[in-house]
Structure 1
Amino acid sequence: MTDQTPSAAPPALTNRDVADLTDLRRRLHRRPEVSRAEAETAAAIRAELAGTRPDRILTGLGGHGVAAVYDGSEPGPTMLVRCELDGLPIEEQSSRPHRSEMPGRGHLCGHDGHMAILVGLARLVGRRRPQRGRLVLLFQPAEEDGSGAAAVIADPRFAAIAPDYAFALHNLPGRPFGHADIVTGPVNCASRGLRLRLTGRTAHASQPDRGISPMAAVARLMPALTALSDAPAATEPPGPDFRLVTVTHARMGEPAFGIAPGEAEIWATLRTLVDTRMEALCTDAEALARDAAAAGDLGLSIAYDDVFHHCENDPDAVALIRAALAAEAIPSSEGHLPMRGSEDFGRFGLRAKAAMVFLGAGADVAGLHNPDYDFSDDLIPIGVRLFARLADGLVGFRG
């Protein structure tokens, strides 16, 4: 861990900054783009960063990713702070003036707010450059489908900005507003999407015995898959043996009254606390699918999508976050961590000392991925203060 001592007061946002960042957040909220389609969002971020005079801006990183690089004048560590560009394929249900203008899409996870926080940090760094090392602000594509971090890391240009330390935050509805949750060790679960396709043979609805229907297999598989779960109450953090299977989608046959179905799909999300437990859960789920397909004389194909590694917080990185929280008088605890949700930020932890911190969005607000969710603009200056203090400890700010 670095032995550098932070200054008494890192740079701070002005009232004008806060108003501008709030406006930016709401503009981004109106124009959400889903994973791997964030071209307009990336262009807007690129325009915002230009005025902060980074030494380099990388665009098209791992897709539509954008990275602003600010070099220090002395040797030191590379610190990366990451946020997400993408929204969700969910219709927003809101009467807010800044509600989504894009049918079927919404910034319903707070990535618009996370981007505003990083742009705020970029403004501060543009005014007082890093003293040592290098600060990289990464606006990552495709977090929601789990492909973005891997694509960024695989981009040949990433090697030139590979960090020694990587940090991220996520807002967390249900926790006291402005309260930070931080813990060492696993903090987000591993997960992956299991896609089962069962194939038989269609028949006329008046003669279903002439076909091979997947109906019985579907009826058998959905409860059998969910029964693989070994999870505590939703209010309790997952333990080492945590496993959860959630059926998220099922489809059978054609939407017609005259055809007995000949094929079906079941989608399920598999979760474990850590990556090493995922293989056994996949094996168990696949065995159930093969047994059901064989019993029904059905063909079976198995595929996986949205693969997330678990996210683990490094103790040195956590210590730096805790010191920054204390210096900024931001209350913190271990909260209800680790959380069940997944985050592809964990991939950066395979290459750097990494940690994610969660900022409470309020106890009585809509949850993440709810159609009426909205990021709280009042979290923007808190997030900027945290990251500025963290940067001051690692790379410093010139006087």
Structure 2
Amino acid sequence: MTQNNADTVELTAFRRALHQHPEISGEERETAARIVGALRDWAPDQILTGLGGHGVAAIYDSGNPGPTVMIRAELDALPILELNDLPHASQTPGKGHLCGHDGHMTILLGLARILSRARPAMGRAVLMFQPAEEDGSGAAAVIADARYAQIAPDWAFALHNMPGVKLGRAWLAEGAANCASLGLKITLTGETAHASTPETGRAPTSALARLIDRLQALAPGGALGPDFRLATITHLQMGAPAFGIAPGAAELWVTLRTLTDEGLDVLLAEVKTCAQSEAEAANLAVDFEIHDHFGACDNHSEATEILSRALDASGIGHDAGDLPMRGSEDFGRFGTAGAKAAMLFLGAGEDHPALHAQSYDFPDDLIPQGVAIFHHAVRQILG
């Protein structure tokens, strides 16, 4: 049982409708409602809503014992203004589906159509529409939801479209696929003073300058490997925009990135130690806030082999490409939670605009490809 031409036409129209109405992480209420409305036409045995926020899970149950296979897509868009001159361009100023999550959701709806026509022979297929991938909080929130135990998968699969890779090709490799990362806001607090007598205050100026140099030396990046560590300064703010005031506080925002979760824990501890030592030397208070925490994404060997065979059956060539990637993806948390998990990267075209670019739009040609890949993966395990 496969999708037909009418499926492809209807799915393309649905994808473009999703594209017109983007919602960012944590705000995906209407997107989830659209997904639920579409799923009801394709008769899942159960639909769970509100998972980890606005998450939706559609369950197709064979009625026979067997494993649970989860396929994941993402609900959220980005807080970026879209600049495409397209009939289906975003109608929400300052927000856009510029990463392709609209396409990933549509692929799962295509799979729902096939599963509704022919249930798996055993076990269950779960289609997971996950919230808040872009800020790294969604997968963890879904797993922490008490109802996740009802659908905890034995196997988990996902894909992401990949501009720069030829249409009809994919990247897939066992082992590390995406880096772990987090955003750390460091606040240094002293005391303001008149600009003519800065010595009467406690300015963070020198401490901030030294800390920037220390962080970049601590995690300089370089080639991806077991020892890879990168600290990227993304934002700085110090004092008031005035010439008469010596500053009394500063913020430094830094993204920390390593190949493993354990490596990220070590790097975070070292960065905090650096900040604390600089603060102490300058008689400043220091505070830390963690944001956008992504776990490492590692492809399980058996799950990778399942996807490899699914790509072959779908006529899509594949290799390791540039994996692992420096970028982060929160899908890896499902593997950490116990599933045999793997993710592939499906070519969106060598000259296609990059992910998060204001001119990006998901290539609709990937919809039938993605449906075919996931259908072959599900059938390998569940029959």
What TM-score results when the alignment is normalised by the length of structure 2? 0.95
Q: What is aligned with 1:24?
A: 14
User: Which secondary structure does the structure 2 equivalent of 1:187 belong to?
Assistant: strand
In the alignment, the residues of structure 1 paired with residue 70 and residue 194 of structure 2 have an alpha-carbon distance, to the nearest angstrom, of 60
CA distance, structure 1, for counterparts of residue 239 and residue 72 of structure 2: 43
Correspondent of 1:377 among 361, 364, 377: 364
1:112-142: CA deviation from partner (whole Å, max 9, x where unpaired) = 1111111111111112222211100000011
Relative to structure 1, is the Cα distance of residues 309 and 256 closer, same or farther in structure 2, using a 3 angstrom cutoff? Answer: same
Q: Which residue of 1 aligns with 2:113?
A: 123
> What is the aligned partner in structure 1 of residue 186 from structure 2?
196
Give the alignment partner of residue 368 of structure 1, picking from 335, 338, 355. Answer: 355
Whether the 8 Å contact between 2:221 and 2:231 is mirrored in structure 1 is no
Tell whether the 8 Å contact from 2:76 to 2:134 is kept in structure 1 after alignment.
yes
Instruction: Indicate if the aligned counterparts of 2:299 and 2:342 stay in contact, CA closer than 8 A.
Output: yes
**Structure 1 residue matching 2:350: 3-state secondary structure:** coil
Specify whether residues 94 and 206 from structure 1 end up closer, same or farther in structure 2 by C-alpha distance, changes over 3 A only: farther
In the alignment of these two chains, the number of paired residues is: 382
Q: Deviations over 1:172-208 (max 9, x none)?
A: 1121223111111111111111110011112334443
Whole-Å separation in 2 of the counterparts to 1:283 and 1:266: 16
When residues 92 and 257 of structure 1 are mapped into structure 2, their CA distance, relative to the original with a 3 A threshold, is farther
Q: For 1:72-94, what per-residue CA distance to the aligned partner results, in whole angstroms no more than 9, with x for missing partners?
A: 14322111000111112222232
The alpha-carbon deviation at position 212 of structure 1 amounts to 2.1
Aligned ranges for residues 2-151 of structure 1 at < 5 Å?
Answer: 11-151=1-141
Aligned counterparts, 1:153-172, within 5 A: 153-172=143-162
Candidates 309, 322, 339, aligned match of 2:295: 309
CA contact (8 A) 1:190 1:278 kept: yes
- Provide the rounded CA distance (Å) in 2 between the counterparts of 1:28 and 1:180: 25
Quote the Cα distance in structure 1 between the aligned partners of 2:198 and 2:297. 48
What letter corresponds to residue 27 of structure 2 in structure 1?
A
CA contact (8 A) 1:197 1:300 kept: yes
Q: What amino acid is aligned across from residue 105 of structure 2 in structure 1?
A: M
Counterpart position of 1:4: none
> What are the within-5 Å matches in structure 2 for residues 226-375 of structure 1?
226-232=216-222, 238-350=224-336, 351-375=338-362
C-alpha distance after superposition, 1:247-275 (max 9, x if no partner): 11111222344433211111111111011
Give unpaired runs (5+ residues) of structure 2: none
- How large is the RMSD of aligned CA atoms in angstroms? 1.6
Paired with 1:228 and 1:79, the residues of 2 have a C-alpha distance of: 41
Q: 1: distance between equivalents of 2:188 and 2:298?
A: 36
Whether contact under 8 Å (2:26, 2:54) holds in the other structure is yes
Correspondence for 1:389? 376
- Larger deviation: 328-337 or 215-224? 215-224
CA contact (8 A) 1:73 1:130 kept: no
Which string of whole-angstrom CA distances, capped at 9 and with x for unpartnered residues, describes residues 339-386 of structure 1? 111111111102111111110112222222222222111111110111
Structure 1 letter corresponding to 2:78: L
1:361 & 1:149 partners in 2: Cα distance? 24
Moved more, 245-254 or 309-318: 245-254
2:209 to 215, 219, 235: 219
Indicate yes or no: 2:162 matched with 1:176: no
The Cα offsets for residues 266-315 of structure 1, whole Å up to 9 and x where unpaired, read as 11111110112112211221222123222332211122122211111111
Query: Could you tell me how far apart the structure 2 residues matched to 1:319 and 1:332 are?
Result: 12
Distance 2:51 2:129 in 1: 9
TM-score by length of structure 1 reads 0.92
> Residue 230 of structure 1 contacts residue 241 of structure 1 at CA under 8 Å; is this kept in 2?
no
What is residue 3 of structure 1 aligned with on the other side? none
Partner SS state of residue 372, structure 1: coil
The one-letter amino acid of 1:349's match is G
SS in 1 for 2:106: helix
SS in structure 1 of the partner of residue 186 of structure 2: strand
Q: Does the 8 Å contact 1:92/1:372 carry over to 2?
A: yes
